[in-house]
Structure formats: C-alpha cells, structure tokens
Structure 1
Amino acid sequence: MRLITWNINSLRLRMPLLARLVEEEQPDIVCLQETKVPDPLFPAEDVAALGLPYHVYKGMKGYNGVAILSRHPIETVQNIPDWCGRDDCRHVAASVQTPSGPVLLHDFYVPAGGDIPDPDLNDKFAHKLSFVDEATNWFREIPPARSILVGDLNIAPLENDVWSHRQLLGVVSHTPPETTRMSAWIATGFTDAMRHIVPEPEKLYTWWSYRNRDWRKSNRGRRLDHVWLTPDLMPSLRDIRVLKDVRDWSSPSDHVPVVLDLDL
C-alpha cells in the first residue's frame, strides 16, 4: 500500500498539482489537510477522475479541512470527537481493508497556534495545546492498534526537525509546551515512522515558509508533517520519502508530500 499525506493548502486551487502527484506516484490513498472547501463543493468527480473514487472528507469555507482519497473502498469511522467543541474540520478517520486485515487511518490537521507561544496571551496557542491534550487523552483511553496517523500536526518535535533548535525554541511549532505534548501523544501507542527511516541527527523537513524567496538555498525548514504507525504495523514498513522537489512546482503549497510504503 502506498499512502501520501500532504497539506495541499487549497484543494481546488491545487488540483493540477494533485493530478501530477497522483500520476507520478500512483498512490493507493492520499490524505490531505487544509483542503479549504466546504463539503457541498468538494470536487468529488475531479478527484475520482484521478483514479481515487472513494472519499472521506470534512471541510469548511476558506479554512482547515481534511480528506482521505482512496483507490479502493474505505469505510468512514463515525463518532470521532469534536475536538475542543469547535467543529472546525481537523480530523477524519477511515477503515482500510488490506490482505492482512483492516487498518485504521487517522488524518489530522492540528491548529497552527498563532505567533505568541503563551496561552494566556494567545487564544490560538491555547487552542493548539488543548487540542493536543484532548487527542492524547482520547488515544490513551482507547489504545490504538493496527493504526496509521498522518497529517500536518504543526509541531516539529525533535532538535533536527528544525533548521536551528536554539533559535526556534521560542517559536511556535518547536516550543517545549508543544514538543513535550507531542511526545506524550506518540507515547499513547505510536512510533514516529519517519524517524525510523531517517534517524537523527539527520535533518528532516516537510515545510518551508513562503517568506523565503530562495527556500532551497536558505533551507530554513521544519518537519511539521508526520507519519505514525502502531508497533504492530512497523514490520510492514518499507519506505518513507519526503518529496522535496514538489516545493518547486508551479504555485506550490508551503508543505511537501510525504510518501509511505507498506507491505500489508
């Protein structure tokens, strides 16, 4: 099974990029974040034309939005939480049938958190911390098995997940309140599969700011996009690739796709 996770930063705007990605990589499943499209306007026919006719999605106008697109039938997981009581379209889940049995797939878009890393001064940062706390408690109460969690989690947890650990310790996405929470979330029953394939101290990024004119030369990246597997799926892991060159495509997202290959 080949799975791609990507913060596409507007599905309708970047449909040509998705088409190129699907043509080049031939994925079985694509998990998207920041689709920015309300459900009645979801381009289901256009996505099906790419060879991905099965969909689970939740979206709203202009912001957020997540979607799972599949080449094969999938079943929507019902009764997932309304995180922080906001109904802001940040999580969908699906059950995927494989020859070795069903796999549960979670697609998350964690709040970015604004600019000020102080929950008393910044409601967006408070929301982010609360979101991660709620997700952690939920997975702790229902320990995951045969599960994959992917998405834009908006936290770069490790020292070499950012271009400068020292300079970014006080910058939202790499602060201790965020990174310690992510460690607790992973510890509910997941393995950081990307760092299994590319262990530290190698630098590993999936996001480069639009503010960097020559993003490749400055290379001030962060690993905000993640792939987690439960230990029972780790023997099936074959490869994970970060498609860095996609950042050079026409009108790109500031995130690049991550490709996961499993032998299930």
Structure 2
Amino acid sequence: MSQNLKIASWNINSVRARLDIVTRFLTEEAPDILCLQETKVMNDAFPGGIFRQMGYNHQVLHGQPMHHGVAIVSKIPIREDDRLDWQANGEARHVGVRLDNGVRLENVYVPAGGEVPDHTVNPKFGQKLAFVERMIEWSSKLDKPTILTGDFNIAPLECDVWSHKQLIDVVSHTEVECELLARLQASHNWVDIGRHFHPAPTRLYTWWSYRARDWAASDRGRRLDHMWISPELLDNAVSHRVAEPCRNWARPSDHAPLVTEFRF
C-alpha cells in the first residue's frame, strides 16, 4: 500500500512574528511535515499549541533565543531526533528525525557567512565553510536513505542567482562556496530535487532581499533553500516547487517555502 507524503521546508525568519502566514500556509498546502529554519525562539516559547490545533502533534524543536533555531512539526510520527553541532559552538542549526518508513529527515540552517568572502577578515565566512566541511564528513558516512533540506545559504549554479556576473564575489555565490557545496553533494551522491524537477537554467529562486522596493518586479532572487535526497529515494519523488506567492503575503519572510511530494 503506497503512502503519499508532502514535506515542506521554510526559513520563516521568526516563527512567532510570522505565525499568521505559517498557519495560512499549513491551511492552504496541508503538508504532512514542515521543517522550519530561523525560528528565533527557545523551545519553551515555541507556539506548539497552535500547531497541535492544526494536527501537527509531533514536534521536535531545537531552539535558541533571538537567533537561529530549527524545528520539525509533523502530522505523522517522527522519532530518534538528534541535533548535530556542525557549527561547533552550540548554535541551534540542525535537527534530524526518523520516519516510520525508515527514512531520515535532516533539517539544517547553514550560517549566512557575513558580508565579506574572506575568512581572514570575516570569521563568520570561515565558520560557514567549516560548517559545510563538517556536513561533508557526516554525509560521506550515511548508510540510510535520507532527505536533507533547509536553508543552505548557498546558490550553487550560475542560473541560481539573478546575475552570476554581479554576484560572483558576493557571499552565497562565491566560487569557494559553490565548490564546497558540490563536494557536499558528491559525498553522498545527493539528488538535488529542485534541479531534478526544474532543470537548469530554469528560473528557480527561493529568496529575495527585503531591500528591494518591489521584490517581484526587480526579481533579484537567489536559490538558497534546497531539498536533497539519497539517490535510492529518487523513484519516490513525485514533485517539487517553490511556493513563491508566500513571499508576497503580509509581513513575509524573505524566503519562500519549498514543497516536495513523495510516494512511498
């Protein structure tokens, strides 16, 4: 008997500040599982009751006040949660669970890396590179079918940004970051679901800066959010899209959600 499973991922940029659009998204899209990044809240202040009222009774939280924070809320059982410290400083940037079908689901928020792409003058950039290096070490040892999703804060392909030429030296699209993400992908032969269903050079942005007066008109987007799967799960993937209209809702996140459907 097959089971359809819809998994969404969204950097919400403060779950309490944007609870109205989160609940609207859950009402309209009804994913089985929602992975959130940048929740910006401690576990005891997470609005779990609202999610339970909507049927998301299974919740795994890794919170932090004011910054970072990740969470997974689900209508179906999720087990064996872990929180890996790829930042090596205790920041809440990862939470992972196991589904009853044996598949692992890993939710990650990679550091943005600051403004200057030089770790000698910008320690945050060095921390970002080290974070992904630790992910590569973890990824190379995986022995279970896994879904890896979240805000990777790297737009790897030339077509993943509005202007490759203008952003080649901008953090999130520098050569060193793109090469590092390619190494991460190769370490487990991850399938980039976004580009599987929307092959390059199809426009596929997930983030637009708040600085734009009209984000949709200027459309200076980047594909910073990703959904990757172990190669053995490719036959289970049904569809993938960016829920771009959410970027236009009241008090939006600067990211739009990813929505991927699977059939197991």
Question: TM-score over 0.5 for the alignment?
Answer: yes
CA contact (8 A) 2:6 2:33 kept: yes
**1:149 aligned residue:** 148
**1:44 aligned residue:** 48
2:72 to 68, 75, 83: 68
Distance between the aligned counterparts of 2:159 and 2:47, measured in 1? 37
Q: Deviations over 1:95-121 (max 9, x none)?
A: 012xxx311000000000000000101
**1:84 aligned residue:** 87
* 1:88 CA displacement: 0.4
State whether structure 2 residue 14 is matched by structure 1 residue 14.
Answer: no
SS of the equivalent of 1:143 reads: coil
TM-score (norm 1): 0.96
SS of the equivalent of 1:185 reads: helix
CA contact (8 A) 1:56 1:76 kept: no
Distance between the aligned counterparts of 1:242 and 1:253, measured in 2? 14
**2:36 aligned residue:** 32
Structure 1 residue runs of 4 or more that deviate by more than 2 Å after TM superposition: none
| Matches for 1:157-176 after TM superposition, within 5 Å | 157-176=156-175
TM-score (norm 2): 0.96
SS of the equivalent of 2:250 reads: coil
One-letter amino acid matched to 2:213: R
State whether structure 2 residue 22 is matched by structure 1 residue 23.
Answer: no
Q: Deviations over 1:141-196 (max 9, x none)?
A: x1243110000000000010000011100000000110000001111211111100
Identity of aligned residues (%): 45
Distance between the aligned counterparts of 2:143 and 2:50, measured in 1? 33
**1:95 aligned residue:** 98
Distance between the aligned counterparts of 1:219 and 1:42, measured in 2? 33
Structure 2 residue runs without a partner (length 5+): none
State whether structure 2 residue 168 is matched by structure 1 residue 196.
Answer: no
Distance between the aligned counterparts of 2:215 and 2:47, measured in 1? 31
SS of the equivalent of 2:254 reads: coil
State whether structure 2 residue 1 is matched by structure 1 residue 2.
Answer: no
**1:116 aligned residue:** 116
* 1:222 CA displacement: 0.1
Distance between the aligned counterparts of 1:26 and 1:18, measured in 2? 11
SS of the equivalent of 1:105 reads: strand
Q: Give the length in aligned residue pairs.
A: 259
Distance between the aligned counterparts of 1:90 and 1:217, measured in 2? 32
Distance between the aligned counterparts of 1:147 and 1:130, measured in 2? 22
**1:139 aligned residue:** 139
Distance between the aligned counterparts of 1:203 and 1:31, measured in 2? 23
* 1:209 CA displacement: 0.2
SS of the equivalent of 2:87 reads: helix
Q: CA RMSD in A?
A: 0.9
